[in-house]
Structure 1
Amino acid sequence: MKSMMLSLVTCIFMIASISQAQAKNTPCSGKMGGVSHCSKDGKFVCKNGKISQSKKVCR
């Protein structure tokens, strides 16, 4: 029973860390609120109104 609980907890932590790593690699992540729209010059405009520093091009 203990090993089953340990396995479950381990899986939860692995999934949570993968989700956090993916969030860090997207434009406008975290406090920026996500992507609102693209600017005319191909930059990401975040929901909080700021321009993302991402090197990716928004289409």
Structure 2
Amino acid sequence: MKYWSAFCIAILMMAPVAQANAQNTPCSGKMGGVSHCENGKFVCKNGKISQSKKTCS
């Protein structure tokens, strides 16, 4: 029981970190991911240009 509590606490502490990392990529979330690069900007799979300040080549 003692180990189970420690395991649950560890999982709860790691969950926000994983979510934060997912939001730091161009075209994340509902944008569907990166489709391709056009003029140094990321084009998302939904057809929109990413607002990311990162550039691609």
TM-score of the superposed pair, with normalisation by structure 1: 0.84
Which runs of structure 1 show a deviation greater than 6 angstroms over 4 or more consecutive aligned residues? none
| Aligned-residue CA RMSD (Å) | 1.1
- 5+ long unaligned stretches in structure 1: none
Listed one character per residue, the Cα deviations across residues 21-54 of structure 1 (whole Å, up to 9, x for unaligned) are 1011110001101111101x10000111110000
| 3-state SS of paired residue (1:51) | coil
The aligned length equals: 57
* Structure 2: gaps spanning 5 or more residues: none
2:48 is equivalent to residue 50 of structure 1: yes
Report the TM-score when normalising by structure 2.
Answer: 0.86
Identical positions, percent: 65
